[in-house]
């Protein structure tokens, strides 16, 4: 947490101290324009550097800034991420960018690395190589699961995991955004605002009638929905949803697509799903992963007509 704050302050300070660099070029080509000026000043003039390494550092800083600018407006930025398990590359030089407010569907055959990618984003797994940034400049590889969750990244697991010995209501109460201190929880009192929040979430996820039911007694579909409800309770900026409709009936699947579209109006969402009808119902940009990297990206029609994708799916 504190790291990210320091980083933010440092970035702002940098922006203030270089007003022209920031003001002139608004978007993409900015770094390219800024770089020669900086480099020229260093290499061209008889500039007496205190140490040759200072030049290297200077160049490195400029390069980092250039990349920082490209990153700035993204919500999630993965660059060259690699993760291997016992020599097997589950994620292989994966690069992926999610914009603020975007909903993205991720498809890919079994073992493509979709879940591992979510593990990396949420801090469960550390990548061997590569960059993972949230909201432009928060380096996620330096934070633990709890910190990342508190920053605003919520996650629904492939296998629904809810707190089985708690009621639906308590599951949501424990997930509600708010302070996360142990002693705070000890003296916590239920209040009106909290009840209202829970009420809204129960309504959104169609679980109002089951509020007092123990989560263990819910149907599979209802557990999936409860987990989505817990996600909503955290009020995250980015929702990572792993196979939300696995094991659902067609009607439930349709209902879930509707629910996710509704959620996507106010949040950014990344959905992993095998069910193509569901992905079509979402109607968003699709990324196909294969062997740990991006195989194809675009509209569902474009991706599903991509010969590489067809080969991967038919080859199995």
Partner 1 sequence: MLLARFLGPRVWILVAVILAAAILVPLANLALPPDHALHVPSYLVPLWGKYVCYALLALSLDLVWGYVGILSLGHGAFFALGGYAMGMYLMRQIGSRGVYGNPVLPDFMVFLNWKELPWYWLGFDQFWFACLMVVLVPGLLAFVFGFFAFRSRVTGVYLSIITQAMTYALLLAFFRNDMGFGGNNGLTDFKDILGFPIQAASTRAGLFAASCIALAIAVLLVGWITRSKLGKLMIAVRDAESRTRFIGWRPQYVKLFAFTVSGIMAGIAGALYVPQVGIINPGEFAPVNSIEVVVWAAVGGRGTLIGPVIGALLVNYGKTVFTAAAPEFWLFMLGGLFVFVTLVLPRGIVGTIDHGWDALRSIRRAKDAEKDESGGDAQAVPGPAE
Ligand X SMILES: Nc1ncnc2c1ncn2[C@@H]1O[C@H](COP(=O)(O)OP(=O)(O)OP(=O)(O)O)[C@@H](O)[C@H]1O
Smallest separation, CB 125 to ligand X (Å) = 7
SS (H, E, C) 241-303: EECCCCCCCHHHHHHHHHHHHHHHCCCEEEEECCCHHHHHHHCCEEEEEECCEEEEEECHHHH
Q: How far is the C-alpha of 202 from the C-alpha of 194, rounded, in Å?
A: 12
**Terminus-to-terminus CA distance in the chain, angstroms?**
44
Looking at the Cβ atoms of 93 and 158, the one nearer to Mg ion is 158
- Does 13 engage in binding with ligand X (CB under 6 A)? no
Binds ligand X by CB under 6 A, chosen from 6, 85, 139, 216: 85
Span interacting with ligand X, options 16-24, 105-113, 206-214, 255-263, rule CB under 6 A: 105-113
231: alpha, beta or left? (left if phi > 0; alpha if psi -120 to 50): alpha
Q: How near is the Cβ of 121 to partner 1 at its closest, in Å?
A: 11
Are 121 and 240 spatial neighbours (Cβ–Cβ below 8 Å)? Answer: yes
To the nearest whole angstrom, how small is the minimum distance from the Cβ of residue 128 to partner 1? 21
Question: Tokens for 159?
Answer: 């296998």
- Residue 313 touches which of partner 1, Mg ion, ligand X, none (CB < 5 to 8 A by kind)? none
Rounded distance between C-alpha atoms, residue 219 and residue 82, angstroms: 37
For binding to partner 1 (CB under 8 A), which residues are involved? 122, 124, 144-146, 149-150, 154-155, 157, 161-166, 170, 173-175, 180, 182-183, 185-188, 230, 234
Among positions 82, 93, 125, 158, the unique one binding Mg ion when judged by CB under 5 A:
158
Give the CA count within 13 Å in the CB-facing half-sphere of 161.
8
202 or 282, CB closer to ligand X?
Answer: 282
**Binds 111: which of Mg ion, partner 1, ligand X, none (CB < 5-8 Å by kind):** ligand X
Residues that bind Mg ion (CB under 5 A): 114-115, 158
Residues that bind ligand X (CB under 6 A): 85, 90, 108, 110-116, 158
């Amino acid at each position: 947490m504190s790291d990210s704050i320091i980083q933010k302050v440092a970035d702002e300070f940098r922006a203030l101290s270089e007003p022209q660099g920031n003001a002139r070029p608004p978007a993409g080509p900015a770094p390219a324009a800024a770089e020669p000026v900086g480099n020229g000043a260093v290499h061209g003039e008889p500039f007496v550097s205190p140490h040759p390494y200072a030049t290297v550092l200077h160049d490195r800083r400029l390069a980092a800034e250039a990349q920082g600018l490209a990153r700035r407006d993204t919500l999630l930025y993965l660059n060259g991420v690699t993760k291997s398990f016992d020599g097997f590359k589950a994620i292989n030089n994966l690069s992926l960018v999610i914009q603020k407010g975007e909903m993205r569907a991720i498809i890919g055959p079994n073992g493509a690395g979709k879940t591992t990618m979510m593990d990396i984003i949420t801090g469960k797994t550390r990548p061997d190589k590569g960059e993972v940034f949230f909201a432009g400049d928060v380096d996620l590889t330096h934070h633990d699961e709890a910190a990342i969750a508190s920053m605003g990244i919520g996650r629904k697991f492939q296998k629904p995991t809810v707190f089985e010995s708690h009621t639906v209501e308590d599951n949501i109460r424990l997930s509600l955004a708010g302070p996360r201190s142990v002693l705070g929880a000890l003296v916590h009192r239920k209040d009106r605002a909290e009840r209202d929040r829970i009420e809204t979430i129960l309504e959104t996820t169609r679980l109002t009638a089951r509020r007092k039911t123990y989560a263990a007694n819910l149907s599979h579909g209802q557990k999936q929905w409860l987990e989505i409800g817990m996600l909503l309770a955290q009020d995250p900026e980015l929702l990572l949803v792993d196979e939300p409709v696995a094991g659902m009936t067609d009607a439930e699947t349709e209902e879930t697509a509707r629910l996710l579209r509704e959620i996507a109006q106010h949040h950014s969402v990344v959905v992993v799903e095998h069910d193509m009808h569901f992905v079509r119902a979402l109607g968003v940009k699709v990324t196909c992963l294969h062997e740990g990297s991006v195989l194809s990206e675009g509209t569902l029609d474009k991706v599903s007509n991509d010969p590489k994708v067809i080969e991967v799916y038919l080859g199995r």
